[in-house]
Amino acid sequence: MPRQRKKRTVPRDSTGQFIPRRDDSACLQFPSEVDLLAATSDESDSGESDDGGLWNEIWQGWEARRKEEERQRKEKELQKERARLEKLRAASVKSAEHALDGAVGRRGGARDKTGEKRGAYSIGGDSERTAQRKRQKIRREAEAAGLDVSSVEVQRRLDAVQARKPDARVQLSLTQFLRKPAQPAACLVVDDSESDPEVLQSAPHSLEQPEAQRLTVGNTTALEDVDAADEDESNPSEGSEDDVPLAAHVPVSESPEDDDVRAAEEIAEYVEDVLETTVPKSPQELETLAAEGLRKARKAHDYRSEVLFSCLIDFYRMLPRYGRLRTALRISRNHQRGPAFARVLCAQARHFETSEGLKPSRQGQKCKGESTLDNEAVFLGIQTWLRTLKPGEVTPKLLQTHLNTTLLPSLQLSKRQLSLRQARRWLWKLGYRRKRHSKGVYWDGHERKDVKQRRKAYLAELESFEPYMATYEGSDMVEKPPSKLDNGKEHVIIFHDESAFHANDYQTAHWIKDDERVLKKKDKGRLIMVSGFICQRYGNVALTDELLEQNAKLPATERLTHTDSRVTIYPSSRKGGDEYWNMDQMVDQVKERAIPIAHRLFPNAIIHWVFDNSSCHGSLAKDALSANKMNVNPGGKVPDMHDTIIPDDNPHGFAGRPQTMQFPSSLPDDHPFKAHEGKPKGMRQILEERGLLRRGMIGDCEACKQTRSRKEHLTGASADEIRHVDEGDGYDTEEEDNRPADCCMRRALSLQKDFQNEASLLQQVIEDAGDVCHFLPKFHPELNPIEYYWGWCKNYFRERSNGNFQRAKALVAEALDACPLLTIRRFFRRAFRYVSVYRLGATGVAAEYAVRKFKSHRAVQAKDLEEAELERQRKLAKLAKGTLNIVDLRPIWRFV
């Protein structure tokens, strides 16, 4: 029974129309059945009933449209491919002939098939040559065995040999070489427009002819020509076959999609011809060329090339005897290198044989991929988050958690998770380093507005008496008398500070082996507190040996009971321990020790005492004027305050009048404050006597309470110690300026001049002795030379401490006396360098860098600061090279 043919079903939609098939190129619309029936009915009405012809006509039209769309699709693909190849034309190289022709002589070069002389070449790569040699070997073996080269077995072996795709640069140079013959030659061009197919037009070999067909060769185009048979019939060449340009041997490409195939065949044919005529150089010739390269490398002081050329000389000398591999291994062993160097030597030899030069070094040419941190949104997000953390709170784990849970998911990036190791790398790129805790300049408050104003005032105070001070110059810090005197007196500056030592304070770094450990006690041990003074001339402020002898001869009423200004206490909460350092002990040290000893050391001098700006040193006397200690109404448990004089700026005519802070001890019976005799008056009465009380004024407004609470939190001082801060010393200055001066009684009274100019207890004691008191600006320990002195002493103490408290007590005294006077004078010189740098306007890291650079200078000049800034920028630029560009290299040492 014959097999029945299965009917082909056509898919239809809900309306009965055909559903067109889809392919990868286009979607064609098939004619619907309704259209076909309508066309059939029209034909029937007109008297024509040839249904088969109508159907054929419709389907032929559809087929024509399909072929046209297919042709347009292929044309678009071809245009895309040509556009891609045109982009590759941008690559520029010298030549690619050596990759196919082999090495050529240095003198005169070699002649190619066009007869043009070519020079030395410098591009490597012989993978195409290797493939052609293998194919030639297969053909020769087939011919020797009597097999047909076109047989299936031989063709299968030939197809199995695959060459590496030529590099775009080599392909470009090769096709350019093929397109540019040395002399014009005739070639045959086919005119497909209107001429008869058998009529051929003879034209010069030029790429500018529009009627010539183009052939895509690699990444360029070459002339497409007729085959050899047509060429021989229409325009036979008068010369030999070698005189015909290579383009004349290119077969005709009948369709655009065969261009790449024709190009590959053309290149393969050219390579095969070149291989037949190429003669490799002998090892002796290569050795001579390597010796010449060695001479040039030594002249250019190129160590890498010198080593490789010397190895190549030995390589070609030993090559005939041992072969390539054994020779490379022997040379590698002679140079105390391994098999890797032998492989490098073989690769260099292959490159040298084709290009007569060394392979360029690939060191430093690795292409670094982009990091997620390079994304601007990620970088800004991390920076914004890091600003919310305080110094010391940043950790890689915290950064990893924030990125994986918040930042990266919100940005919808491809990278969703970050490892802990990568978080550490990112922190390193952002400038963070894992460091041990160390003391230094507190930069956050160093450039605050009020601190800068106080620093400027302190520098002006020093400048006023610097000409009357002795200087110490040279490496031996020899004393030089002051250039002039102030009414026959010199000025001397003495610095003060306190420091704390702990009995269990050890070194943090040790030289130990891997299996060794240093046992330390858990706590720091007992506290040893030291308060001292130092000066340039004597170091520690204490009587000299000569003065000690004189003091012993004085009567008991004039003899000093204390000969050293230094005070050492051992505060502890245990029974028998000393009290912690306070203002009373500070005043007692100054009055009983420091001032008398300093007047003996400098009998005819004006002494300037410099203290740091701590809240303890700013404490007021018990009877000092303070609005914070006063009540609104009379009475109450408040301290008595000394009398004052109403300031001159009083607008109500009360300037210059004396004013008491307490009521008299006896008042008339009809006096409204008879019950408060001898008691404090209160803020309301004080303001009323000055004419500053207005109707409805309250004692303390809410804004002042919040401001005062905020300042106490920032400074850590108590309400009694916050006098300088409370009087508008820089905190929230803009908010305070916006508030009225008489918003409340406490603010109005605190802004009075006599309350603002109230001196601290320490300043009163020093001024009563006829000396001058100065206070350093906040956050400026670098201006106090005794800070460097404490650091030297603590280093001495830590190297010798063993954790025993009795040993620590003796060791502290030993360390304080062990610091040489020369070292102390250098500490002063370093502090004065900071003063000179700040006067020039420098600050921050630039100032610190300049001070460290010019160690032998007492003062840094403007030119020195400029030199230090340029050197710092060069170092930063070197460190920032090749990393994330976060460092701003603009000058930062000038105030804006």
Predicted local distance difference test score (pLDDT) of residue 862:
74
The chain-wide mean pLDDT, for the chain, equals: 76
Q: What are phi and psi of 576, to 5 degrees?
A: 95, -5
Q: For the segment 41-58, what is each residue's pLDDT rounded down to a tens digit?
A: 554 444 444 555 677 777
Of the given ranges (103-112, 359-368, 419-428, 569-578), which has the lowest mean pLDDT? 103-112
Separation between Cα atoms, residue 809 and residue 803, nearest integer Å: 11
pLDDT at residue 136 greater than cutoff 90: no
816 Cβ contact list (under 8 Å, min separation 6): 530, 532, 540, 566, 793
Mean pLDDT of 794-820: 93
pLDDT of residue 857: 65
Bigger pLDDT: 873 vs 393? 393
Q: Which two tokens stand for residue 7?
A: 């009917």
User: Which is higher by pLDDT, 101 or 360?
Assistant: 360
Structure-token pair, residue 749: 């009274």
Predicted pLDDT of residue 51: 54
* Selection from 225-234, 366-375, 749-758 with the highest mean pLDDT: 749-758
Most confident of 45-49, 243-247, 864-868: 864-868
Angle formed by the axes of helices 785-800 and 805-818, to 10°?
Answer: 140
Q: Is the pLDDT of residue 406 over 80?
A: yes
416: pLDDT strictly greater than 60: yes
Q: Is 87 helix (H, G, I), strand (E, B) or coil?
A: helix
Model confidence at 173, pLDDT cuts 50, 70, 90, reads low
Q: What is the mean pLDDT of residues 181-196?
A: 38
Based on the number of CB atoms within 10 Å of its own CB, is 613 exposed (0-12), middle (13-18) or buried (19 or more)? middle
- The model's confidence at residue 168, banded by pLDDT at 50, 70 and 90, is low
- Amino acid identity, position 7: K
Structure tokens at 620: 């007021």
pLDDT computed for residue 187 by the predictor: 36
CB atoms within 10 A of CB 752: 20
Q: Which long-range contacts (CB under 8 A, 24 or more apart) does 82-89 make?
A: 82/216, 82/221, 85/216, 85/218, 85/219, 85/220, 86/219, 88/168, 88/171, 88/172, 88/218, 88/219, 89/172, 89/219, 89/220
Q: For 682-708, what is each residue's pLDDT tens digit? A: 999 999 999 999 888 999 998 888 887
Question: At residue 736, what is the residue type?
Answer: E
In the chain, the amino acid numbered 677 is E
For the chain, percent of residues with pLDDT exceeding 90 = 34
Q: May I ask the CATH class of domain 443-510+523-616+775-839?
A: alpha beta
Q: What is the pLDDT of residues 1-11, one digit of tens each?
A: 455 554 445 55
Q: What are the CA-CA distances from residue 695 to residues 193, 654, 699 (Å)?
A: 109, 19, 12
**Residue 341: band (very low, low, confident or very high) from pLDDT cuts 50, 70, 90:** very high
CB 827: neighbour CB atoms within 10 A? 22
**Higher-confidence residue: 618 or 247?**
618
Confidence of residue 803 (pLDDT cuts 50, 70, 90): confident
Q: What is the pLDDT of residues 540-590, one digit of tens each?
A: 999 999 999 999 999 999 999 999 999 999 998 888 788 999 999 999 999
| Beta strand 658-659 pairing with 644-645 | antiparallel
* Six token digits for residue 333: 């062993």
Any idea what the Cα angle at residue 343 is, between residues 338 and 345, rounded to 5°?
95
Q: Which residues contact 593 (CB under 8 A, 6 or more apart)?
A: 562, 564, 565, 567
Tell me if the pTM is above 0.85. Answer: no
- Write out pLDDT tens, residues 421-444: 999 999 998 888 887 766 666 666
Strand partners, 10: none
CA 372 to mean position of chain CA atoms: 15
pLDDT in tens, 453-508: 999 999 999 999 999 999 998 889 999 999 899 999 999 999 999 999 999 988 77
Mean pLDDT lowest for which of 55-64, 190-199, 430-439, 652-661? Answer: 190-199
Is a pLDDT exceeding 90 seen at residue 593?
yes
Supply the pLDDT for residue 122: 33
Report pLDDT digits (tens) over 263-309: 666 666 665 555 555 567 889 989 999 999 999 999 999 989 999 99
Task: Please state the φ and ψ torsions of residue 384, each to the nearest 5 degrees.
Answer: -65, -40
SS3 11: coil
Of 401, 387, 394, 402, the closest CA to residue 427 belongs to: 394
257-261, 672-676, 679-683, 703-707: least confident range: 257-261
Q: What is the per-residue pLDDT for 253? A: 42
Reported residue count of the chain is: 896
Of residues 274 and 109, more confidence is placed in 274
Specify the pairing of strand 605-611 against strand 772-775.
parallel
CA distance 62 to 70: 12
pLDDT of residue 239: 40
**Of 397 and 195, which is predicted with more confidence?**
397
User: H or E stretch including 609?
Assistant: strand 605-611
Give the residue-averaged pLDDT of 840-865: 72
Q: Can you say how many angstroms the Cα of residue 377 is from the centroid of all Cα atoms in its chain?
A: 17
Return d(Cα 100, Cα 173) in angstroms, integer: 11
